[in-house]
Amino acid sequence: MSEADRIRHCTAALALHDDEVRDKPDAKANVFADLGSPVSPLRVRASVATSSSSSSGSAKSPAPSNAGMAGGRSHSGELVGECNPPRLMAHRRSGSGQLIFTGGGSRGRGGGSGDRGSTASSPMLNALPTGNIFPPVRVPATAAAPPPSRSRPDVLGSGTGHYGHGSIMRGTGMAPARSSIDSSFLGHSSRSPASFSASSGSLQEVTRLGNEWYKKGKYGEALRHYERAVALCPESAACRGNRAAALIGLGRLADALHECEEAVRLDPVSGRAHSRVAGVCLRLGMIDKARRHFTQAGHLQHSDPAEWHKLQEVEVHLGRCTDARKIGDWKSALREADAAIAAGADSSQLLLALRSEALLRLHKLEEAESTLASLLKLDSALPSSLTAAKLSGMLAESYIHIVQAQVDMAFGRFDTAVAAAEKARDLDPGNAEIGMVLNNVRLVAKAREQGNDLFKAAKFLDASIAYGEGLKYDPLNSVLHCNRAACWSKLEKWGKAVDDCNEALRIQPNYTKALLRRAASYAKLERWVDCVRDYEVLRKEFPSDKEVAEALFHAQIALKATRGEDVSNMKFGGEVEMVSNVEQLNAAISSPGVTVVYFMSTMNQQCTQITPSINILCTECPSVNFLKVNVNSSPMVARTENVRIVPTFKIYKGGVKVKEMICPSLHVLRYSVRHYSVSSS
C-alpha cells in the first residue's frame, strides 16, 4: 500500500464536540478541506529528513519551524487520530508536466522542460521516496517503489494531472522517531492494505461512538471508546484530550490531569491542551500550575478571559481564608473558603479541609463531617505537587489529616483521631502545630479511656475527674461533657448533669444522648416545662420510640397536675374510642386536655384509607383523647354536631372546640393535633 493511502487512513477526521469548550473532546476537523486548498492541513511534530541535490550530494536539515502551516494559516492540530503523517510541498516546473516536491514549502527554480537535472533553490526537507504519489488506479500491495533517481531526486511520479484524489499530502517524509508510536498507522507497515484500512477505520469509528456517548452524558461509555482510540494511536494528543474529557465528566480529576499532561507532552504547542491542564489544576486548587498553563495557552492564542478571572478569584479568596485562619476568625474563613470553591476550585482538598475546620470551630459538626467526607471521596492519587503544597508552614496533606483528627475527636472516635494525627506527624515530623495537636489528641483519648474504665467499675466520682482532665486539653469536646453528665446523674447531682448537657448541646446541638440525659435530669428536678420541651424534640426525631413516647406522656401528665388540671382519666397509649350517643360525646369532650373527634363512615373510601393513620396518630400522641363517630350507625350524633361530609375532624380543648377540618390531608391533621397537644402542656 502506498504512503499516501496510509496517510489518508491515519488522518481520518473524527467528529468531536464544541471546540470552544475547554474540557470537552477536541473539535471536528476535515483533513481533506482547508478553505478550498488541495493540501491537507496536518500538523507535524519535530522530525529530521534527508534531502539530496544533484549539485551538493545530500544534506540533513531540521524540520522547518513553521510545521503545521498551510497557505500561511496556522492550524490547531486538534485532529483525533493524528499520527504525524509525512509532509510534502509541491510546485510545477516551468514548461513541465511534472510536480516537483520540496520540504518546508521552498519554491523550485524555473527551467526548461528538458532540464531534468535541475533541483529546488533550497535544500530539500522531508522528501519522501519516489512512488508515494500515484494515479487513482489502485496499486497492488506487493508493488515495489521504483528506486530513487540520483539525477532527479525531487521528482515524484510523472504526468500532468492531479494525483490520487486531487489532494497532495504534506508531511515530514519520515515516521516519528518514537518507538511507542503504533507503526500500523504510520509509514511502512508490515500489514496488508486491507488490515491497515480496518485499523484506521476502527480508530475513526471508536472515536465517533465515544463522542456520541459523551454528548449523552454517558461518560463511562465514552471513556471505554476513547481508551480504545488511545490504544490504537497512543501518540495522538487529541485522543488523549478526549480521554481526559471523559475522565473529567466522571470526576476522576487526578487521572484526567495525567492525560492532559500527556497531551501537552505530545503536542506542546497546542493551546487547547494547555488550557485543559489549567482548568483541571484550577479545580484541584493548584493555583501556580494553573497560572503557568493559562499563560502558555494565552501565548498560543487560546486564552479564555473567564478562566483567568476564575483563577484570580480563587487565589484572592484562598489568601483571605488562610489569613482568617491565622487569627481564628472562623466566620470569615468559612465565607472565603466557600467563595473560592464557588469560583472554580470545587475539588480542592485544601479548601475543603479549611471549610471543614471552620465549621468545626463554629460548632457545626454535622456540616464539618459532611465536608470532610466529600474531601475523602476525591481522588486519592493526587499529584505530589499538590500534596506538597503548604498552609502556614504545614504540608497540605498533613493539614488534611489534622482536620480529620479533630473532627473524629469531636464525634468521639478517639482511636481513629489518634491514628490520623500520627499520620500527619509522620508526613511532616518537624511541624510544631502538628506536634501540639497530636499531643492533645493523645491526652484526651487517654483521659476518656480512663474515665470509661472507672465508670464501668461504678467509681463515678473518679470517672468524672478523669473526664475533666480530658476537657482541660479539649474544652470543646461534647462527648466528654456528656460522659461527665452521666457521672453526675449516677451521683444524683442533677444540676451539674444539666450544666454538662447544656455545654455538650451548645457544642453539638443535635447530640441526642445529651438531650436524653438533660430531659431525664429535668424530670428529676421537676422542671416539667423544660422536660416536656426536650421530650417533644426527641419525639419528633424518634416518632416510633415507645420509651420516649411514654416519658413524654408522664411529663405532660405531671405538668398538667402542677397546673391543677384533672388527669385521673388519662392513660398512656389509649385507643380510639367509639362514641354512639350525644351524652357520651359531651362527657368525653368535657374531660381535661385535648380531644379529637373523628366523624367517619365505613362506606366512604377516603375514611377507609385514613383510618389506619388515625390509629397510628393516637399512639404518637398518647396525651390526646381520640374519639370516633360512625355517622351511619349514629346519625343523631352527626346531626347534633352538624356533620354532613366525612371524614370530618373536630378538636376540643377543655370542652371548647378549637378547630374543625373537613377532608384534611394526613399532614395537616397530624400537624394540628400535635400543635394543640403541645400548647396544652
In the chain, what percentage of residues exceed pLDDT 90? 43
Nearest-angstrom CA–CA distance, 522 and 509? 18
Average pLDDT of the residues in 615-634? 85
Q: Is the pLDDT of residue 152 over 60?
A: no
Q: Is the pLDDT of residue 575 over 50?
A: yes
Answer with the residue of higher pLDDT: 217 or 391.
217
Q: Which helix (H) or strand (E) holds 334?
A: helix 330-343
How distant, in Å, are the alpha carbons of 32, 286, 509 from that of 303?
28, 18, 49
Cell of 116: 531534468
Instruction: Give the pLDDT confidence of 466-479 residue by residue, as tens digits.
Output: 999 999 999 989 99
User: Would you call 381 exposed, middle or buried from its count of C-beta atoms within 10 A (0-12, 13-18, 19+)?
Assistant: exposed
Give 34's pLDDT tier (boundaries 50, 70, 90). very low
Instruction: Give the pLDDT confidence of 217-268 residue by residue, as tens digits.
Output: 999 999 999 999 999 998 999 899 999 999 999 988 888 999 999 999 999 9
Q: Is the pLDDT of residue 32 over 50?
A: no
Nearest-angstrom CA–CA distance, 237 and 114? 46
Answer with the residue of higher pLDDT: 180 or 415.
415
Average pLDDT of the residues in 51-75? 38
Q: Is the pLDDT of residue 668 over 60?
A: yes
Q: How far apart are the first and last CA of the chain?
A: 95
3-state secondary structure of 485: helix
Nearest-angstrom CA–CA distance, 505 and 235? 60
Relative to beta strand 625-630, strand 594-600 is parallel
Q: Is the pLDDT of residue 66 over 70?
A: no
- Selection from 323, 340, 333, 394 nearest residue 361 by Cα: 333
Q: What pLDDT shows up at residue 358?
A: 95
Q: Is the pLDDT of residue 385 over 60?
A: no
Give 307's pLDDT tier (boundaries 50, 70, 90). confident
Q: Is the pLDDT of residue 132 over 90?
A: no
- Selection from 81, 75, 42, 13 nearest residue 301 by Cα: 75
Instruction: Give the pLDDT confidence of 193-204 residue by residue, as tens digits.
Output: 333 344 555 888
Nearest-angstrom CA–CA distance, 517 and 558? 18
Q: Is the pLDDT of residue 190 over 60?
A: no
Q: What pLDDT shows up at residue 567?
A: 66
Q: What pLDDT shows up at residue 92?
A: 42
Q: Is the pLDDT of residue 306 over 50?
A: yes
3-state secondary structure of 596: strand
Q: What pLDDT shows up at residue 382?
A: 56
Answer with the residue of higher pLDDT: 570 or 427.
427
Nearest-angstrom CA–CA distance, 608 and 421? 60
Instruction: Give the pLDDT confidence of 513-551 residue by residue, as tens digits.
Output: 999 999 999 999 999 999 999 998 998 888 778 788 888
Nearest-angstrom CA–CA distance, 618 and 649? 14
Q: What pLDDT shows up at residue 172?
A: 35
Q: What pLDDT shows up at residue 71?
A: 39
- Which fold is adopted by the domain 577-679? Glutaredoxin (3.40.30)
Average pLDDT of the residues in 106-128? 39
User: Would you call 338 exposed, middle or buried from its count of C-beta atoms within 10 A (0-12, 13-18, 19+)?
Assistant: middle
Instruction: Give the pLDDT confidence of 577-614 residue by residue, as tens digits.
Output: 889 899 889 888 887 778 999 999 989 999 999 988 88
Instruction: Give the pLDDT confidence of 451-469 residue by residue, as tens digits.
Output: 999 999 999 999 999 999 9
Nearest-angstrom CA–CA distance, 342 and 90? 54
Q: What pLDDT shows up at residue 154?
A: 36
How distant, in Å, are the alpha carbons of 109, 526, 557, 565, 681 from that of 562?
117, 10, 9, 8, 11
**HEC-encoded secondary structure of 486-546:** HHHHHCCCHHHHHHHHHHHHHHCCCCHHHHHHHHHHHHHCCCHHHHHHHHHHHHHHCCCCH
Place of cell 480508530: 203
Q: What pLDDT shows up at residue 397?
A: 87
Strands across the sheet with 625-630, in order? 577-578, 625-630, 594-600, 648-653, 656-662
- The DSSP secondary-structure symbol of 185 reads G
Give 315's pLDDT tier (boundaries 50, 70, 90). very high
Q: What pLDDT shows up at residue 82?
A: 38
Q: What pLDDT shows up at residue 171?
A: 36
Q: What pLDDT shows up at residue 129?
A: 38
Instruction: Give the pLDDT confidence of 493-510 residue by residue, as tens digits.
Output: 999 999 999 999 999 998
User: How high does pLDDT run on average in the chain?
Assistant: 74
Q: Is the pLDDT of residue 137 over 50?
A: no
Give 396's pLDDT tier (boundaries 50, 70, 90). confident
Question: So where are the chain's domains?
Answer: 1-218+226-248, 577-679
